[in-house]
Amino acid sequence: MPKKNAPDGSKPKVNNPNVMGLRAEVLEQPITDTLETNFMPYAMSVILSRAIPEIDGFKPSHRKLLYTMYKMGLLTGARTKSANIVGQTMRLNPHGDGPIYDTMVRLSKGYGALLHPFVDSKGNFGKVYSRDMAYAASRYTEAKLSPICQELFRDLDQDAVDFVDNYDNTMKEPSLLPTTYPNILVSANQGIAVGMASQLCGFNLAEVCDATVAYLKNPDCDLSSILLGPDFPTGGEVIYDQAALEEVYRTGKGSIKIRGKYRYVKSENLVEIYEIPYTTTVEAILDKVAELIKSGKLKEINDMRDETDLNGLKLTIDLKRGVDPDKLMAKLYKSTTLQDSIACNFNVLIAGSPKVLGVRELLEEWCAWRTECVRRRVYFTLGKKKDKLHLLKGLKRILLDIDKAIKIIRETENEADVVPNLMIGFGIDQIQAEYVAEIKLRNINKEYILKRVQEEQALRDEIDDLEDLVGSPKRIQKLIVGELEAVKKKYGQPRLTSIIYEHEITAFNEEDETPDYPVTVFLSRHGYFKKITPQSLRMADVQKYKEEDGPSQSFETTNKAEVMFFTSKQQVYKCRLAEFDDTKASVLGDYLPSKLGMDQDEGVVGMVLPGDYSGALLFFFENGKAARVDLSAYATTSNRRKLTGAYSDKSPLAALLYLTEDRELALYSTEPRALIFNTALLSPKTTRTTQGVQVMTLKPKYHLSEVKPVEDTSITNLPRYRCRTIPAAGALLKEEDGEQMRLL
C-alpha cells in the first residue's frame, strides 16, 4: 500500500537496514518533483538562453560572438586569427571553443549560409552546400566584422538596449543588438529546444526594408505583394504557391517548395546544375542519383560528377544520346532532393516568452521594439545635450565677470577650495564649477566667450527639437523609415533565389516514361506471378508451375496497366505491371509475398486489373453471404501501395469476382447444392469491409465452396437451380449437372 503523508504534510521516511546493521534514512521523492526541480530549469535554459532567437534575429551565442568582435575593434580594424576571437568570446560564452567556432563558421562569408554574412572571413570555412567539405581549424583562418555590422552596433553606445552581467559577473554584455533593420526576417536561423523548435527562412533585405516601410505607413498593407518569397544564399528557384506563402505569412508555419537550377550544354550533350536548394547538399544529390542508376530507374545518364571549383558549385551530368534534358531534370526533381521543401516555424522569443508569429506580427513586434530603441537613443542624446547646456549656463555666468573669477582663484590658498569658492561666489553648482575651473587661461578671451554664448542658443534649439521628437511617434516613425531606406540603398542586392510559377514547370509523369506494349499476366494458386509478351508466348506457351501448384487467373492487358492483388489477410496491394520484369513461360515467375513484402502467412487470393476503376467487386464468403463493392472505393489520389480493410473478415473468403455488368452466377456448396442468381439482386455498398447480404442459406455442417459464371459450368438444367429472390437454399446437385463438382 502507498504510504500516506505525515499529519504535518511532510513526506514519510523509509528506514532501510544496511549491511553494517545501521539504519539509513531514504527520502521518497515523486517523479513530478524531480522533473520540476531538475528538468524544468534545464528546459527553460535551453529555450531562453540557447536555441530560440530573439527579436533582433540572434541567438545568445551569435550575439556574444559579434559583441566580442566589436569590442576587439574588428569592425574597422584588420582581420585577426579566428583562435583569438574564439578565446576572447569565452569571456562571455562558457560553452567551449568548439561551439564558438562553429557559430563563427555559420555567420561567415566563406560558409555562405546567410544572405548578408556578419563575419568577413579569410581561409577555408567550408560550404553550406557540402556535407563533406570540412572547415579549417581556427588557428589557420582569419576574420573581422562585415560592413553591415555597423547597422547592429550603431546605437549600442547610446543606451538603446539594456546591458546585463556575463556568466561570472566580471563584465557587461548587451541583452539585444539594436539592429536598424528587421534582421529576424533577413538572416536564416534554426534551433531545436526542449519541446519546441524554431525554423526561420531568410528574405531579401531590400524587400524586407520595403515591407517594413509599407507596414509602418499602413499596418493593413498587402505584404505578399512586396515580400515575393524567401531568398536563399544558395540561389535556386522558389515554386510560387500563393496559398502556401499566405499561410506562412499569416501563421508563421508551413512549407515552401524550392528547387535547383540547371543549364543544358548542347555542344557536349550534358547538363550543368549550378544552384541547389538550401536544404540539401551535393553529396546527398549524388548519392541519390547513384542509387537510382544502380536500381535501374535512371537509364538516361552516362555519368554524373561534382565539378565544383573556385568559380562556384557545378554538378555535371553526361546524357545518353537522344535524351530530353528537360524531361530528365523533371524526373530528377521528383526523385531527388534537387526539389525540396523547407519547413517554416517562426518561433521567436518575445519579452522572454516563445511565440510563433506570422510575418505581419513579426514586423509589428520589431517596429515596437525598434521604436523603443530609437526613443532610448534620443533620450540619451537629450540627456547629454542638457548636461552640456547646464555647463554652459555656469560658464556664461562666470564669463560675465571673469575678473571676479580670476580674483577668487588667485586669492584661494588651497587648491581644494577653488571649486567651493567659485560655487559661493557665483551661485553655481559643483559640476559647473568643476567645468569652469578646468578652462585654460588662453581661452579667457572675447572670441571664446562669444562662441560659447552662441553655442548655448544652438544647444537650446537642439534640446527643444529632441524633446519634440521624443513626444512625437510620427517623427520617430519617420526616422526609422529613413534608416530603413538608407540600409536598403547601401546593402540591398538583387534576389539570389528566383520565383517560378506552377504553369512554367515541366511536370514529370511516370506513366509517360513507361513503355507500353501488350502483355499477358498469369497468377498461380500459390502466388507466383508472370508477365509475358506475345512474342514469348508464341515461342513457348506451356506454363511451368511448382509441384501441386497450377493456374489461377490470366488476363491480356498492357505494360502500363495497374494491378491489384487481394490477400488472405483482407489487404490489397496496388502496383504497376511495369514494375515486374518481362519473363518466359518456362520460369516460375515472381513470388508475390516476397516481391510485395507481405506479412507472414499472408497469401494472394485474387488478382484484379482495375482499369479506370469502373465496375464492382463481388466478395463471396463461406457463410453464404456476398458483398458488392464499387471498385472506385479502392481508388486513391496518392501512390499508396497497400490498403488495409479490403474486405470483411467475419467469414473466410470463398471467391472474388470482378463485375463490369450484371450476369448470372452459379454458387456451389459442400452439401452439394447449387444456386443460380443474377447479380442485379445485389445492391452496391460504399464500405469496403461490409459483410454483404445472405445469398445462399446453408445448413450448419456445410459452407459455400465455389462461385462460377453460369457459362463456365456444366449445368444443363438451369431452371432447376435458378432463383428469383435471395437468400435461397438452391437445389441438390444432380449427377448430370455435377461434373463441375467432380473436377474440384
Tens of pLDDT, residues 708-719: 999 888 888 888
Q: Do domains 368-491 and 510-743 have the same CATH topology?
A: no
Stretch among 352-366, 391-405, 600-614, 639-653 having the lowest mean pLDDT? 391-405
Kindly tell me the burial class for residue 27, based on how many C-beta atoms sit within 10 Å of its own C-beta (0-12, 13-18, 19 or more).
exposed
Q: Are 665 and 730 in contact (CB under 8 A)?
A: no
What pLDDT shows up at residue 566? 94
> Does 612 or 358 have the greater pLDDT score?
358
pLDDT in tens, 99-139: 999 999 999 999 999 999 999 999 999 999 999 999 999 99
Task: Measure the CA–CA gap between 491 and 204, rounded to whole angstroms.
Answer: 11
C-alpha cell at 110: 566563406
What strands, in cross-sheet order, belong to the sheet with 642-644? 604-608, 562-567, 571-576, 642-644
Q: Are 554 and 505 in contact (CB under 8 A)?
A: no
pLDDT in tens, 416-452: 888 898 888 888 888 888 888 888 777 777 677 777 7
pLDDT in tens, 168-192: 999 999 999 999 999 999 999 998 8
Q: pLDDT grade, residue 71 (50/70/90)?
A: very high
What pLDDT shows up at residue 164? 94
Whether the predicted pLDDT of 276 surpasses 90: yes
Closest CA to 184 of 49, 343, 367: 367
C-alpha distances in angstroms, 274 versus 6, 202, 317, 463, 469?
Answer: 73, 20, 11, 57, 51
Task: Measure the CA–CA gap between 198 and 340, rounded to whole angstroms.
Answer: 19
pLDDT in tens, 664-692: 999 999 998 999 999 999 988 878 999 89
Question: What is the Cα Rg of the chain in Å?
Answer: 41
Residue pointed to by grid coordinates 555647463: 391
Q: Are 521 and 575 in contact (CB under 8 A)?
A: no
- Give bridge partners of residue 16 from the DSSP assignment: 24
Say how many C-beta atoms besides its own lie within 10 A of residue 616's C-beta.
21
> Which class is domain 261-337?
alpha beta
Domain 52-179 architecture: Alpha-Beta Complex (3.90)
Task: Measure the CA–CA gap between 126 and 121, rounded to whole angstroms.
Answer: 11
Q: pLDDT grade, residue 278 (50/70/90)?
A: very high
Percent of the chain with pLDDT over 70: 94
Domain 510-743 architecture: 6 Propeller (2.120)
Closest CA to 304 of 269, 330, 260, 271: 271
Task: Measure the CA–CA gap between 186 and 493, rounded to whole angstroms.
Answer: 12
Task: Measure the CA–CA gap between 590 and 97, rounded to whole angstroms.
Answer: 58
What pLDDT shows up at residue 15? 47
β-pairing verdict for 189-192 and 197-200: antiparallel
Would you give the DSSP letter of residue 613?
T
Distance of alpha carbon 731 from its chain centroid, rounded?
Answer: 66
Helix (H) or strand (E) holding 743: helix 739-743
**What residues act catalytically?**
140
Say how many C-beta atoms besides its own lie within 10 A of residue 313's C-beta.
21
When pLDDT is averaged across residues 41-66 and rounded to a whole number, the result is 88
What pLDDT shows up at residue 3? 44
What pLDDT shows up at residue 487? 96
pLDDT in tens, 499-535: 998 877 766 555 556 677 899 999 999 999 999 998 9
Whether the predicted pLDDT of 597 surpasses 90: no
pLDDT in tens, 553-563: 898 998 888 99
**Ordered DSSP codes for 77-117:** S--EEHHHHHHHHTTT-TT-HHHHHHHHHHHBTTTT-SSS-
- Out of 7-21, 191-205, 482-496, the most confident range is 482-496
Whether the predicted pLDDT of 743 surpasses 80: no
Mean pLDDT for the chain overall: 88
CATH superfamily of 368-491: Topoisomerase, domain 3 (1.10.268.10)
Task: Measure the CA–CA gap between 463 and 471, rounded to whole angstroms.
Answer: 12
Task: Measure the CA–CA gap between 609 and 575, rounded to whole angstroms.
Answer: 10
Counted residue by residue, the chain has a size of 744
Q: How many CA atoms lie within 13 A of 191 on its CB side?
A: 24
**3-state DSSP call for residue 386?**
helix
When pLDDT is averaged across residues 726-732 and rounded to a whole number, the result is 90
**Ordered DSSP codes for 653-708:** EEEEEEESS--EEEEEESSSEEEEEEGGGSPPBS-TT---EE-B---TT--EEEEE
What pLDDT shows up at residue 741? 47
Task: Measure the CA–CA gap between 717 and 735, rounded to whole angstroms.
Answer: 11
* The amino acid at 365: E
What pLDDT shows up at residue 25? 64
Whether the predicted pLDDT of 325 surpasses 80: yes
What pLDDT shows up at residue 639? 65
When pLDDT is averaged across residues 381-406 and rounded to a whole number, the result is 85
Domain residue extents for the chain: 13-42, 52-179, 261-337, 368-491, 510-743
Q: Are 493 and 112 in contact (CB under 8 A)?
A: no
Task: Measure the CA–CA gap between 668 and 241, rounded to whole angstroms.
Answer: 58
Phi, psi dihedral angles at 522 (to 5 degrees): -130, 135
C-alpha cell at 611: 482499369
When pLDDT is averaged across residues 697-718 and rounded to a whole number, the result is 90
Q: How many CA atoms lie within 13 A of 695 on its CB side?
A: 32
